[in-house]
A and B are shown apart, each in its own frame.
Chain A
Amino acid sequence: MILNQHRVGRSGCSPLLAALCVVAASGAAAAAPSAEVVRIGTSAEGRPVEVIAIGEASIGADGLSRDERPALVIVAGMQGHHAVGRATARAVGERLMRDHPDLLSGWTVYILADANPDGSARWSDQRGAVAESGRAPATLDEDGDGRTNEDGPNDLNGDGLITMMRVRGAIPAYGIEPSLTIDPDEPRLMRKPDAAKGEVATHSVWVEGIDDDGDGRFNEDGWGGASGGGVDFDRHFPIHWPEHEDGAGLYPLQRPAARAVVEWAQSRGNIVGVLVYGPHDTLASVPPAGKFGPLGRVSTGIENDDKSGYELVSEAFKKATGISRSAGEVDRGGSFLQWSYADLGVWTFGTPVWVRPDLVGSVGDKDDASAAEPEPSPMEEAIARDRTALAERGVPQELIEFIYATTDERAAIVAEMDAMTPEERNERMNLLRNAPMDVQQRVMALAQGQPDPMAPKIEPVPEPEKPVSKPKKRGDSDEAKWLAWIDDERAGSGFVGWTEVDHPQLGTVEVGGFAPGVRVNPPDELLESLADKQAAFVVELLGMLPTLVFDEPRVERVGDGLWRVSLTARNTGSLATVPASGVKARRLPGLIMALDPDLAVPNESIVSGRRVQTLETIAPSGEARAEWMIAAEEGSSVRIAVRSARFGDRGFDVRLGEGGGR
């Protein structure tokens, strides 16, 4: 049995630091980048939370120090069992230092390789059997029965792993009813019975364990193992925090390690990009744009205006890594990734690093494409028909989208209209006024929160003609594909064959299934090549992230003793200096250009232009300019102060005269 528990993360960062320092020392460059480990906090169980800061330590040509230069953060290990993320984050850091010292004179890269050290310690050094969980252990009374951690999973077959148990038939004393059947094509897997073929449910599947406390439930209150208990760092951050749900914690950032990460990130205004190695993907497939939480304000995916940026980065990612399709878990709220994007307000990307091997490359694989897209339901088909019909009648797309928007989206659209100028609103209303009467009725009803009076209806389809679930071909399902890979590439190691075990409460059950982590962490021999690909992507990403350069300040004589002074900033990156989420979040000031911050020039001498000018964001390849008209003697000089937490502060002394500027 091979277990993918890369143990690199256990002893802190010093071995890596040593390695990085060797790399740095051997480098020939004079201003070689260096790495420094900064302790940013301590976990609940007393482990250090550390960031490795990589970059040119001294003040560079840009006049900035390492903590002032724009920075990319690579975060890994929010989920303790995501060992591949931790190993890759470190390995990418090594590669950047070894192979790309030039990049590190303009960029700082912070590597937070082990964000949840209690979770990773638990994964690397589990007491008893190994379970697939990335949670930080916590002594909580998950089932509210006055006992804590009294019923975690149990290793019934003694193989050192917590897998699954399949139970045949119904066991009323435990409320167990069969819901699955053994897949006749692959008897190691279970699937829903096909009623059309007369199949009936024979089994149910549970996490391996007994009812330790005799309350009739299995594994409902463990330390954070396969089910119940512990704190899930991917549900523990404040944006869309799943209050009162399993794993969310008593309150957001209750765990000191998570809190330390947030406080550190908020203190580092120079962060312009974040890359998360973890279960969620934003790179192989771009998150949905324009979807919001219940208040219609906080994005659950990405803002519409950031979509093109995400698509651009996604293309680069696919090219560099070969990962062509998403295999990430759905983000259910409270993840670090959502917080980083929506509240910290920086470009944030995520990838599991390693995905089911058949998802890499082979973009044109038709079989897979059809498997990835489920058959549309009759209702979906009816809606599609209705949309087509509306479009054919010439109904504007805006109105069709409104009719089929979710309640939240509709609220957001209405709110948006409220904020419009009267002209804009009138334009929108004209769309509606010119629409067919039935469409007007539908839109008005929906706008008032009533149901759609003409929602498409579906005729009940007779069972025999159209089976509810299409029988799946062998090898179609995610599990089948994993199993095929395990059989082909790992000689079956990674799947525990079902074997009968005498269960003290349920009688004879079978224990087996995928080994913990086998679908999360690759075999060790793949780590190097994964790190190469991810490092290649990071190099691409650094080339796309925003960079700010300034033109020489311009001075024009408007008249005797009257000058026009301007300063232009240019974004030479492929992404906006601040994503739309960051402009919305307003956490940090934008780019500030302030004339004469010491107030030597009185306000009345600034004839035009506000003394302090703010620019929230600059588009890719875009520029922004601040301009003032100043009444002052020729030959005197003024200072323009640029304040930017993200790109560093700068100062320009401008002499008022012909050919002024610096």
Chain B
Amino acid sequence: MKRALTALMASCVVGGWVSAASAQAHVQPKHEIAFNRYYTVDQMYAHLRALERAYPEIVRVRSIGKSGEGRDLLVATVTAPDSDDRAKPAMWIDGAIHANEIQAGEVCLYTVWYLATNYGHNDRITELLDDYAFYVMPLVNPDSRVAWFETPSTPHNHRANQMKMDNDRDGLVDEDPAEDLDGDGSITQMWKRDPRGQWVRNRFDPRVFERVPDGEFGEWTYLGSEGIDTDGDGRVNEDTTDGHDMNRNWPADWQPNFVQYGAGAYPLSAPETRAIAEFCYERPNIAAFQSYHNTGGMILRGPGSSHRAREYPRADLRVYDELARAGEEMLPYYRYLIIHADLYNVHGGEATWASEGLGIIAFTNELWTAGKYFQRDVNDPNDEQMRRFRDRMQFGMTFTDYTEVEHPEHGTVLVGGLNKWSSRSTPTFMLEEECHRNFAFTMFHGGEMPKIAFDRTKVERIGTGGLWAVTVEVRNEKIIPTRTARAREKKIGRADLLTVEGVEVVASGELGDWWDKQMREVRHEPGRVLVEGGVPGRGSVVYRFIVRGQPGETLDIRYSSEKAADIATTIILSEQAD
């Protein structure tokens, strides 16, 4: 806190303000970013670099590797000035591993921007960055984001990476991509005039095709999605540039492609997933994990597969539940769901890897939900309501009007329909709120990473032979334990370490609570205790050391955890009142 105040005062001097407490509303960003629009890869990266230039003490941007097509994979490390991000608990935040789920990138960019802008101005943000570090990777899949912005797309394609893949298994690779026949940047629908067709156009709104009753004939036949059968195999757009689904490529319940479509050649076969995994394995201080996707308004936790349902210990589920319930309140129309039970089976997913492989608390947020269009108890708007929304609120921007196009096989066809900006991406006028609410939930999660301190201590003399009983309590004030039950069960990472130096430690043991008389003895190395279960969330552990020493001698006691900042205290051997 002391550092926070110093930084706060420093920035006040620079900024010329006198008021400290109420500064947030008046913070002048050193780098302005509009959050009512979407950014290409180059624009996104330019903003990250600009934030680093504007806040060099707080934001550090580095490339953790190259994408499949050779683009940088940028990660911003955000933490307090003059502090070591690896010496404190850290949170991994990423987005757009499915590149079509575009707003995930903007939520991440907003996170970096908000933290950097408000550090030293807002006490809570300042404390967050003093205590913790955040590793933010807005674009996990930059290659496909380029494809989504620059080549014809739908709301749903370019989800996978751009790895070469023979999608239709005909021995040729990427030989039948989609064709944008009307040049609107989106792959929409094709209709052909047909006197035996099953569809008619609505006479009041020609954008609407309606099915005629069975037994009657309409005027139009639906030909499928916009494109040409490039390889003459009778199928359209069946082998595009899209490759593997990188959210199925992680080494936790990874399954081969025939079980889990998109799994990739082997776990972490994609350069992007490998770069992230190696980054995380090298940083055991990562204690929380958030991945942004769209769509549907969900806060998701694992397991991804029903056969792993029992692999989430009850103690951990309490943590997940408490964080996510808060999220449901902060994110209107969002629901807290379990992937395998409420959605579908996902094998080898990213956030489930963080939960099951790294043993940390991890969520996937599915950004945007239909409930937010009208925000008045219309959770599932019908087609007519959606048309009104698009016409009146979006001024028609997410619909491409039908135009006639000459098709090599079908002759004259109509091409048009909902374009790539419809349905999945947050309407831009609501984007900033989407960013902020999700950012706030993620900060709530990150802000509950372990924070430990020595609480009560007690020194008692035993007999007259120079023996003392020294009892110490280590308390964690946050919801997340220093070691999840998952990590303990699967022996992930290092146990917490409680060490005593300075005097001879004769025996030691754990107490059930502060008043417990009996200790569960640590039989070996009593001065170097492995605390396998760590310090529970909003709880404490109590240890007693039987030491030999003269009055006035001191013990240096240190508690070290991979997922919490180390703490140390010095205790003097002397009679003391409780």
Q: Which A residues fall within an 8 A CB radius of B?
A: 141, 144-146, 173, 211, 213-216, 238-239, 241, 243-244, 250-253, 259, 262-263, 266, 294-295, 297-298, 342-343, 584-590, 592, 594, 599, 603, 610-612, 614, 643-645, 649
Contact = CB atoms under 8 A, between A and B. Distances in A.
B256 A343 contact: yes
B374 interface: no
A262 B265 CA distance: 9
A297 B307 CA distance: 13
Given A146-B494, A146-B497, A614 B254 contact: no
Among A173, A251, A342, A644, chain B packs the most CB atoms within 10 A around the CB of A251
Contacts of B409: 603
Contacts of A213: 525
Interface stretch (B4-12, B109-117, B152-160, B231-239): B231-239
B120 interface: no
- Which label, helix, strand, loop or mixed, suits the secondary structure of the A interface? loop
16 contacts: A144-B491, A146-B497, A215-B524, A243-B357, A252-B266, A253-B267, A253-B268, A259-B266, A263-B265, A297-B255, A297-B259, A298-B255, A298-B259, A585-B256, A603-B409, A614-B170
A589 B258 contact: no
B170 A216 contact: no
A243 B251 contact: yes
A579 B493 CA distance: 41
A243 B311 CA distance: 12
A244 B251 CA distance: 11
Interface in B203-239: 229, 231-234
A209 B490 CA distance: 26
A141 B234 CA distance: 56
A587 B281 CA distance: 30
Nearest to B252: A243
Contact of B495 (A144, A214, A266, A592): A144
Contacts of B169: 586, 588-590, 614
Contacts of B469: none
B256 A592 contact: no
Contact of A295 (B281, B307, B357): B307
Contact of B258 (A250, A252, A586): A586
B87 interface: no
B256 A342 contact: yes
Contacts of A297: 255, 258-259
B63 interface: no
B518 interface: no
A311 B497 CA distance: 55
B305 interface: yes
Interface in B247-280: 251-259, 265-268, 277
B171 interface: yes
Interface string B523-534: 111000010100
Interface string B452-496: 000000000000000000000000000000000000001111110
B41 to A, nearest CB: 27
A243 B490 CA distance: 9
Contacts of A266: 265
Given A603-B232, A610-B233, A262 B524 contact: no
A238 B258 contact: no
A181 B234 CA distance: 74
A634 to B, nearest CB: 23
Contacts of A298: 255-256, 259
Interface in B520-578: 523-525, 530, 532
B462 to A, nearest CB: 22
A216 B524 contact: yes
B166 interface: yes
Contact of B267 (A214, A215, A238, A645): A238
Interface in B156-174: 166, 169-172
- Which label, helix, strand, loop or mixed, suits the secondary structure of the B interface? loop
Nearest to A589: B169
A650 to B, nearest CB: 12
Given A216-B524, A263-B265, A610-B234, A592 B171 contact: yes
A662 to B, nearest CB: 21
Contacts of A343: 256
Interface residues of B, number: 43
A589 B254 CA distance: 22
A259 B252 CA distance: 17
Contacts of A141: 494
Given A145-B495, A214-B525, A295-B305, A589 B170 contact: yes
Contact of A144 (B232, B233, B252, B493): B493
B234 A611 contact: yes
Nearest to A211: B524
B550 to A, nearest CB: 26
A501 to B, nearest CB: 22
A211 B233 CA distance: 68
Given A244-B490, A298-B259, A214 B265 contact: no
Among B169, B172, B232, B254, chain A packs the most CB atoms within 10 A around the CB of B232
A144 B254 contact: no
B523 A584 contact: no
Rank and list the top 3 A-B pairs by shortest CB-CB distance, nearest first. Answer: A643-B171, A216-B524, A251-B251
A584 B258 CA distance: 7
Contacts of A215: 524-525, 530
Nearest to A142: B491
A252 B268 CA distance: 9
A586 B305 CA distance: 22
Given A251-B268, A586-B169, 12 more contacts: A144-B530, A145-B497, A146-B494, A146-B497, A238-B254, A243-B356, A298-B255, A585-B256, A610-B233, A611-B233, A614-B169, A644-B171
Contact of A244 (B254, B491, B524): B491
Contacts of A295: 255, 259, 305, 307, 347
B232 A251 contact: no
Among B169, B256, B277, B347, chain A packs the most CB atoms within 10 A around the CB of B256
Contacts of A251: 251, 267-268, 277, 357
Contacts of B268: 251, 253
B308 to A, nearest CB: 9
B545 to A, nearest CB: 17
Among B266, B281, B409, B494, chain A packs the most CB atoms within 10 A around the CB of B266
A588 B169 CA distance: 7
Nearest to A146: B494
B361 to A, nearest CB: 18
Contacts of B495: 144-146
A277 to B, nearest CB: 23
Nearest to B356: A243
B99 to A, nearest CB: 24
A144 B258 CA distance: 36
B524 A214 contact: yes
Contacts of A614: 169-170
Given A145-B494, A250-B281, A294 B307 contact: yes
Contacts of B256: 238-239, 298, 342-343, 585
Nearest to A250: B281
A10 B232 CA distance: 54
Contacts of B266: 238, 252-253, 259, 262
Interface string B100-128: 00000000000000000000000000000
Contact of B257 (A243, A250, A585, A611): A585
A603 B234 contact: yes
A173 to B, nearest CB: 7
B530 to A, nearest CB: 6
A566 B259 CA distance: 35
Nearest to A217: B524
Given A294-B307, A603-B234, A585 B494 contact: no
A395 to B, nearest CB: 30
A267 to B, nearest CB: 10
B232 A585 contact: no
B251 A241 contact: yes
A144 B494 CA distance: 4
